[in-house]
Structure 1
Amino acid sequence: MPPLLLHLLLLHFFTYNSRLCFSSPQPKTLILPLKTQTLPKPSNKLSFHHNVTLTISLTVGLPPQNVTMVLDTGSELSWLHCKKTPILTNVFNPLASKSYIPVSCSTPTCRTRTRDLSIPVSCDPKKLCHATLSYADASSLEGNLASDTFFLGSSGQPGTVFGCMDSGFSSNSEEDAKTTGLLGMNRGSLSFITQMGYPKFSYCISGRDASGVLLFGQASFPWLGPLNYTPLVQMSNPLPYFDRVAYTVQLEGIRVGGKVLSLPKSVFVPDHTGAGQTMVDSGTQFTFLLGSVYTALRNEFVLQTKPGLKLLDDPNFVFQGAMDLCFQVPMDRLNRPVLPALPAVTLMFRGAEMSVMGERLLYRVAGMVRGSNQVYCFTFGNSDLLGIEAFVIGHYHQQNVWMEFDLEKSRVGVAQVRCDLASQRLGLGP
């Protein structure tokens, strides 16, 4: 699924192994440092675009050109901005790359490997494979499929297919100035992870401005301990609202403190159209729940936090277009929030759980104050307000969780980990 909001995780590449053999069916493990970065101010393109994105820095082409790409487990086709405009300074120039090859309409790549893209490809007047990508924020991009050499560290993968997009760019110049494109990491045949040939990848996200880890390949470390796995939901027949190449897991319930929300399990199961799947998406900042589930969670959280949290009580304010539960929070002398003990919100999956606790339950709304208090909003939103027929688990709630995406065994593994310490143990932290 396309990114619902551009979020940011700045990933600077580091080669753990001196040589990476891309042609091998079992490439060597590659460990990279990962850092969260916040944009200077929130994006205002649409109400549900946030001010944090996940990006990865690498080089493309011969000679290599530096690019910065949004890391997105919810998208398949990777793409780069390939046209210079007044608002775009961070672009890829295909004319300067000796290894750049456009994809023609007659190739198997254009005819068969594009089957999972949401909009069918077409053939342009030059008989090149033309792709249109449409995202949930109503934006779209157009351009041609091409292949080039993508480098991780000093080792390159020639013939990597991507979209060279030359029209339909975002109107947010500040965001575009930081990124050259998007790196698709879902399970589709054209995704970057599939083309790389790795059977699995992992990441561990620290808090903002702290070091984390991105890892391609097997993660076997004594300090990591066992992961709890939840199987990916497979759907054999195509359904209009079900993304078959997303990392879809089965949400079975939600617990607030020690209380499980009183909801039938059927509300978490996709219906006959495929609507209602639960996706793990690094391209989304926060977590969004379908309306009935969100309302139940909202009501229980308000009940358990009375009277310690003071409601904002402003019916006209909805943060990012989908988060309508906000509070007035006093600050201490060091400008830190003074919060009562908050009940953990635990997402209960088949075979695994993910708990959100403490300050990760609330997000400060920059520049918004009420008297001497800052405004903080609940970090779960209502999918219905965005027009999204799905549950989406965003990267803000994946902080300090080791996330493993196992394509070979069709499962997602999770383990609670201090990601800054994990980074240090792997020799990447300060």
Structure 2
Amino acid sequence: MASVLSLTLFLSLTHLLVFSMGRELQSHPTPTTTLNVAASLQATRHVFSLSSTAEQQEQAELESAGEEEGSSKSLLTVRLHPREAVKPSGHEDYAALTAARLRRDAARVRGISARVALAAKGVKHSEMEPLIEEDEEASEAASGIEGPVVSGMQQGSGEYFSRVGIGQPAHEQYMVLDTGSDVSWVQCEPCSDCYDQADPVFNPTSSSSYRAVGCDSSVCRSLDVSACRNNSTCMYQVSYGDGSYTVGDFATETLTLGQSAPVRNIALGCGHDNEGLFVAAAGLLGLGQGALSFPSQLGSHTFSYCLVDRDSSSSSTLQFGGDPAGTVTAPLMHNRRMNTFYYIGLSGIGVGGSVLSIPPSSFQMDEGGDGGTIVDSGTAITRLQSQAYTTLRDAFVKGAQALPRTSGVSLFDTCYDLSGRASVDVPTVSLHFPEGQALVLPAKNYLVPVDSTGTFCFAFAPTNSQLSIIGNVQQQGTRVAFDTANSVVSFTPNKC
């Protein structure tokens, strides 16, 4: 009897060992991967030849996408473009462009971190100092506000654009896509203060579907900061953490995305005073989880995007509806104090095929709603708590000892001189999620050029905030799908 029990126990343990090994091997990345140095540097030089080619390519790409996807009527699809594919950078070289990108990114991260920290303390947006006031003073708000006008290349609330038709007839505008915002808005005539954009500023009098929102409407009451113009028209204000803001009338309009049917009665801001915001884009399409976000107004519980290389002239798609399933899945977490952001259950980070010894609490939200990890389309560089970042960086440096080091650049403290090399092998970096799920990042998603001569930097950065952010550089080339009904975020590499 004892021998039978021993044999049974042996077989059970053997089966468990084989099963465990199978799961580990399935999600266990290889120790190294190859970075194509020559291709990355070529892309940096190509940036300065980009202009409005994105718009010229859009029709052909949309038709191609429709054929590949079967032109499903259940899908609402629009093309995505990196910023530089919409408007030339205006910088003298790639190093200057990188510096502007990183300044803009730092400003955005400071703003997001401040919002989360204040929310964790119970401070709401509506309790922060508004720029608009009530009744007769509100009618003069758009012309009475003073603030710094800063180049959009030095500020930040998003790096990827889509072409959206505003009004009827549709006026095509480039809109920034932002999973970290809820309220959508567009610059409007008459302008008290409008920044430079690629398209003519939208004039609401030219649209037959434009409708002002009343002060007593539930839509107006849903705004964090609002006021009433002439006791009838709702005014909105959205302020960003870098000091920039947009102020104007709140309205409903018809939006047309790609070749999809027009979407009517979408609440959005018609901004007459827009300070320190986005050069080139006409406004912002809010993709957060709040009640006023575009997905929420659509009633869509699923949407996905794939972000092409930021230095590329090609485009990819933003889709609403369809099957959100992906190769790697992570739980979507809820922050009761901050419903805009998409928090995910990140459990660890791997380097060279091994998961690092980082306490899981480094990535988790506390009971007060502080900390945690969000996926954000507008932040470029992934931010980690300082101790977690140090562990990750040190492991990467150890695995990349053969590469020649050089001095740091801006927020990057780990850089290499890869000039004269066509390719190099680097340690694999992977993001790990519950139940053994792992997303292996391509080398170009974490070792990035900062000039056109061969300086590459490790594209993660530390933060003093408790919040971690998975940025768009790490998301490039991966379709990221959000399924709020089932509380899942999925990642599918190479599905742009």
Relative to the length of structure 1, the TM-score reads 0.76
Matched-pair contact (CA < 8 Å) for 2:80–2:160: no
SS where residue 105 of structure 1 aligns?
coil
Matched-pair contact (CA < 8 Å) for 2:83–2:161: no
Match of 1:60 in 2: 166
Matched-pair contact (CA < 8 Å) for 1:309–1:339: no
Matched ranges for 1:14-413 at <5 A? 14=62, 28-36=74-82, 38=84, 39-40=88-89, 41=91, 42=97, 44=100, 47-49=103-105, 53-83=159-189, 84=191, 85=193, 87-89=195-197, 90=199, 91-111=201-221, 113-114=222-223, 117=224, 120-152=225-257, 153=259, 155-170=261-276, 175-176=278-279, 178-207=280-309, 208-219=312-323, 227-235=327-335, 237-238=336-337, 243-306=338-401, 308-314=402-408, 317-318=409-410, 322-332=411-421, 338-351=422-435, 352-366=437-451, 374-384=454-464, 388-413=465-490
Matched-pair contact (CA < 8 Å) for 2:194–2:273: no
SS where residue 48 of structure 1 aligns?
helix
Matched-pair contact (CA < 8 Å) for 2:383–2:470: yes
The whole-number CA distance in structure 2 between the counterparts of 1:299 and 1:98 is 59
Match of 1:335 in 2: none
Query: CA offsets, 1:370-421, max 9 Å, x none?
Result: xxx532221112233xxx54211112211222221112212111222353xx
**How far is the alpha carbon of 1:273 from its aligned partner?**
3.5
Residues matched between the structures, number: 366
Amino acid at match of 1:331: G
The whole-number CA distance in structure 2 between the counterparts of 1:93 and 1:59 is 13
Q: Does 39-48 or 351-360 show the bigger shift?
A: 39-48
**How far is the alpha carbon of 1:17 from its aligned partner?**
7.2
The whole-number CA distance in structure 1 between the counterparts of 2:235 and 2:101 is 26
Which structure would you say has the larger Rg?
2
Change in Cα spacing, 1:146 to 1:418, as seen in structure 2 (3 Å) is closer
Amino acid at match of 2:427: P
SS where residue 339 of structure 2 aligns?
coil
Structure whose residues are more often strand by fraction: 1
% same residue: 30
Change in Cα spacing, 1:144 to 1:138, as seen in structure 2 (3 Å) is same
Query: CA offsets, 1:18-62, max 9 Å, x none?
Result: 9xxxxxxx9712344444453524373981349782101021112
Query: CA offsets, 1:209-238, max 9 Å, x none?
Result: 344333221138xxxx85332221123x43
**How far is the alpha carbon of 1:150 from its aligned partner?**
0.8
Structure 1 spans left out of the alignment, 5+ residues = 1-9, 19-25, 333-337, 368-372, 420-430
**How far is the alpha carbon of 1:249 from its aligned partner?**
0.3
Change in Cα spacing, 1:163 to 1:195, as seen in structure 2 (3 Å) is same
Amino acid at match of 1:104: G
Match of 2:120 in 1: none
Structure 2 spans left out of the alignment, 5+ residues = 1-53, 92-96, 107-152
Matched-pair contact (CA < 8 Å) for 1:323–1:382: no
The whole-number CA distance in structure 2 between the counterparts of 1:300 and 1:216 is 39
Q: Does 282-291 or 83-92 show the bigger shift?
A: 83-92
**How far is the alpha carbon of 1:330 from its aligned partner?**
1.3
CA RMSD of aligned residues (A): 2.9
Query: CA offsets, 1:136-186, max 9 Å, x none?
Result: 323222222111111123621121101111224226xxx52x210010111
Change in Cα spacing, 1:134 to 1:310, as seen in structure 2 (3 Å) is farther
SS where residue 341 of structure 1 aligns?
strand
Change in Cα spacing, 1:347 to 1:146, as seen in structure 2 (3 Å) is same
SS where residue 103 of structure 2 aligns?
coil
Amino acid at match of 1:155: A
Change in Cα spacing, 1:80 to 1:286, as seen in structure 2 (3 Å) is same
Q: Does 146-155 or 251-260 show the bigger shift?
A: 146-155
SS where residue 44 of structure 1 aligns?
helix
Amino acid at match of 1:217: G
Relative to the length of structure 2, the TM-score reads 0.67
Query: CA offsets, 1:345-365, max 9 Å, x none?
Result: 111122432222322222211
The whole-number CA distance in structure 2 between the counterparts of 1:234 and 1:378 is 30
Change in Cα spacing, 1:86 to 1:161, as seen in structure 2 (3 Å) is closer
Change in Cα spacing, 1:139 to 1:87, as seen in structure 2 (3 Å) is closer
